[in-house]
């Protein structure tokens, strides 16, 4: 609890040298205590104050012999400038877990008329919801009395490994969960405790909780692996005619057109490889690129004296300096593919032009391309 002569705030704390004891009885279906390591986010409220609330973030890590240690952060509700961070340690007991409140690591908004209260908190653990519910009894100093904690942890509750290409429902714990495809939280993919998708490879999602967020709220990565081969589409079944048509004359069969081979990719002028596209902001080739690269490798094998230059390009999205590096990496990715296909590395030079030579108005995926030309 945080107490002020002008304002009353609930929080977890004490002056340096005092210890805070939290007892956490653990509920486990197998009779074994489940680990409480992780990031817990939520709030403390005072039953005597309807409008009072104090967001909290508890970080716990596993130590030796089953012990836990970490930090506890709290803010005064509506006053993010009033905060405290405590170092904590914990050991298991027959009844559950004892956390000791150590010295303050940081405190803001402090005055001579205010302080964080100290006392004891008893938590119960709901494994199904990954929820901690606690009742605080504070040392009777000033207005310090009691408080109630509610904390949640984001944790994967569905299978950690799914079948490749199969429709899967991913399920996590937490309150007001937001899913992102990147750690920078720029690509949201879903909200809520479930997300229905198909995974082709191991994928990491980055999750946050909107339940009483603070300036210290964490991003929790959740990785789902895949197993098995991708399902192959069934070959099309040819339609049967209503009646059997007579066989064509032999001379008609002899005059059947021969399939035209694909046009050569190599020329003295730069040629854009068809469908050689890249994933956004990465040098990773898309599967659509492979047929064109295989054709290029075949042409190089028929002309063993030929040397080529591979030039990489990017779209005009992001910083120019990073795009320059990315274009060079894309050219190197094509070279690596050709070398793996049996082409000597000395026959291939690479360069990058960044975002300086777009073929289409940005943003356009076709600008994430590679051009190939013959060199003397």
Q: Where are the domains of the chain?
A: 2-153, 161-227, 264-375
Q: In what order do the strands lie in the sheet with 307-312?
A: 271-272, 370-375, 307-312, 348-352
0.95 exceeded by pTM:
no
Topology (CATH level 3) of domain 264-375: 60s Ribosomal Protein L30; Chain: A; (3.30.1330)
Sequence-distant (≥ 6) Cβ neighbours of residue 240 within 8 angstroms: none
What pLDDT band is residue 296 in, cutting at 50, 70 and 90? confident
Please give the average per-residue pLDDT across 289-293, as a whole number: 83
pLDDT of 259 reads 56
Q: Would you say 341 and 332 are in contact if contact means Cβ atoms under 8 Å apart?
A: no
Structure tokens at 346: 């000395």
What pLDDT band is residue 90 in, cutting at 50, 70 and 90? confident
Phi, psi of 72 (to 5 degrees): -125, 125
Please say if the pLDDT value at position 20 is more than 50: no
Average pLDDT value over all residues in the chain? 79
pLDDT of 156 reads 96
Higher-pLDDT residue of 284, 168: 168
Please say if the pLDDT value at position 325 is more than 60: yes
**Residue whose tokens read 């854009």:** 272
261 alpha-carbon distance from chain centroid: 44
Sequence-distant (≥ 6) Cβ neighbours of residue 6 within 8 angstroms: 113
Class of domain 161-227: mainly beta
What pLDDT band is residue 365 in, cutting at 50, 70 and 90? confident
Q: Would you say 277 and 286 are in contact if contact means Cβ atoms under 8 Å apart?
A: yes
Please give the average per-residue pLDDT across 297-306, as a whole number: 89
Please give the average per-residue pLDDT across 302-320, as a whole number: 87
Least confident span in 210-219, 244-253, 333-342: 244-253
pLDDT of 235 reads 67
What pLDDT band is residue 262 in, cutting at 50, 70 and 90? low
What pLDDT band is residue 188 in, cutting at 50, 70 and 90? very high
Tens digits of residue pLDDT in 194-233: 999 999 899 999 999 999 999 888 899 999 999 987 666 6
- Give 176-215 as a 3 state SS string: CEEEECCCCCCCEEEECCEEEEECCCCEEEEEEECCCCCC
Residue-by-residue DSSP string for 101-113: EEEEEEEES--TT
- Between CA 97 and CA 36 the distance in angstroms is 9
Higher-pLDDT residue of 235, 291: 291
Least confident span in 181-190, 284-293, 307-316, 333-342: 284-293
CA of 216: how far to CAs of 57, 102, 219, in Å?
7, 19, 10
Class of domain 2-153: mainly beta
Q: What percent of the chain has pLDDT over 70?
A: 74
pLDDT of 247 reads 54
pLDDT of 69 reads 85
- Between CA 194 and CA 234 the distance in angstroms is 31
What pLDDT band is residue 113 in, cutting at 50, 70 and 90? confident
pLDDT of 23 reads 47
- Between CA 174 and CA 42 the distance in angstroms is 10
**Residue whose tokens read 């059947």:** 256
DSSP 156: B
pLDDT of 33 reads 59
Please say if the pLDDT value at position 28 is more than 50: no
């Amino acid at each position: 609890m945080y107490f002020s002569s002008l304002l009353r705030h609930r929080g977890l704390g004490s002056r340096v040298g005092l210890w805070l004891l939290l007892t956490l009885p653990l509920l486990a279906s197998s009779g074994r205590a489940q680990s409480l390591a992780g990031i817990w986010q939520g709030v403390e409220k005072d039953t005597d104050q309807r409008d009072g609330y104090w967001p909290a973030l508890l970080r716990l890590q596993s130590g030796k012999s089953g012990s836990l240690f970490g930090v506890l952060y709290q803010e005064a509700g509506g006053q993010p400038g009033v905060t405290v961070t405590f170092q904590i340690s914990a050991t298991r007991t027959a009844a559950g877990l004892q956390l000791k409140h150590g010295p303050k690591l940081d405190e803001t908004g402090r005055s001579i008329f205010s302080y964080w209260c100290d006392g004891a908190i008893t938590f119960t653990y709901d494994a199904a919801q990954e929820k901690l519910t606690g009742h605080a009894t504070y040392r009777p100093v000033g207005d310090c009395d009691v408080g109630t904690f509610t904390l949640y942890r984001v944790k994967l509750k569905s299978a950690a490994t799914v079948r490749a290409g199969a429709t899967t429902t991913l399920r996590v714990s937490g309150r007001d969960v937001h899913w992102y495809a990147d750690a920078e939280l720029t690509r949201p993919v879903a909200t809520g405790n479930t997300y229905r998708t198909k995974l082709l490879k191991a994928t990491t999602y980055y999750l946050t909780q909107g339940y009483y967020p603070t300036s210290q709220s964490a991003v929790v990565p959740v990785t789902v692996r895949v197993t098995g081969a991708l399902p192959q589409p069934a070959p099309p079944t040819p339609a049967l005619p209503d009646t059997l048509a007579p066989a064509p004359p032999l001379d008609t069969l002899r005059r059947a057109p021969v399939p035209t081979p694909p046009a050569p990719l190599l020329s003295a002028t730069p040629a854009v490889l068809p469908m050689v596209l890249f994933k956004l902001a990465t040098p990773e080739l898309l599967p659509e690129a492979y047929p064109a690269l295989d054709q290029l490798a075949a042409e190089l094998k028929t002309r063993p004296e030929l040397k080529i230059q591979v030039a990489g390009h990017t779209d005009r999205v992001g910083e120019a300096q990073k795009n320059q590096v990315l274009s060079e990496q894309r050219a190197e990715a094509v070279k690596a593919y050709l070398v793996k296909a049996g082409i000597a590395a000395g026959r291939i030079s690479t360069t990058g032009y960044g975002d300086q030579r777009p073929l289409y108005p940005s943003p356009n995926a076709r600008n994430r391309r590679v051009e190939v030309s013959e060199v003397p």
